[in-house]
A = this chain, B = another copy of it.
Amino acid sequence: MNLATTIHMLQGRGFRMTTVRRFLLQTFKDTKAPLSANDLIGILKKAHLECNRTTVYRELTFLVEQTLLRAVDFGDGAKRYELAGGEHHHHFICSNCKAVSDVNLKNDLEQQERILEKILGATIESHSLEFFGICKNCGTK
C-alpha cells in the first residue's frame, strides 16, 4: 500500500498521519528484517527524530490493529514487527549474528493445516515457523 492510500485509509477511520507514524511506516518499508521497539527507538534517534518509547510501543500496537503491521516472534524476549500485506513467508535467523532472511517454503503448510483441523476438530488461524542456524557469513569465518 502506498503512503497516500494509507493516509486516506487512516483518515477514513478517524486517525491522523503524524511525523512518527509516517517515519515508522517508511522505516518498515525500507527494512527487510523485522524490527523491535528497541530497534526503532535507535533508528529514530539516529534520524534525530527522538520520541518517547511509550509512543513507539503505542504506535506499534496501533499499526498492528490497523493491520498495517504484523507481529513476528523469534523467541528472544522482544516482539518484532514487519509490514503486513506482503506474501506469507517464514524466517531464517542466524544464531550468531542475528541476521534474518525471508524464507518462502515450496510446500504449503496450508494443506497441512486443513489436515490438522480435521484431526483436532479445531480452527487454525495462523502458524509461526522460524528456522535457526548459522548463516553463510558466520559459517565461512
Contact = CB atoms under 8 A, between A and B. Distances in A.
Interface size class of A (residues with CB under 8 A): 35 or more
A51 interface: no
Interface in A103-141: 103, 105-107, 112-113, 115-117, 120-136, 139
A133 B95 CA distance: 29
Given A75-B75, A92-B122, A113 B136 contact: no
A94 interface: yes
Nearest to A73: B75
Contacts of A116: 92, 103, 131
Contacts of A75: 71, 73, 75, 79, 128
A61 interface: no
A126 B133 contact: yes
Contacts of A120: 92, 101, 135-136
Interface in A44-64: none
A105 B95 contact: no
B122 A133 contact: yes
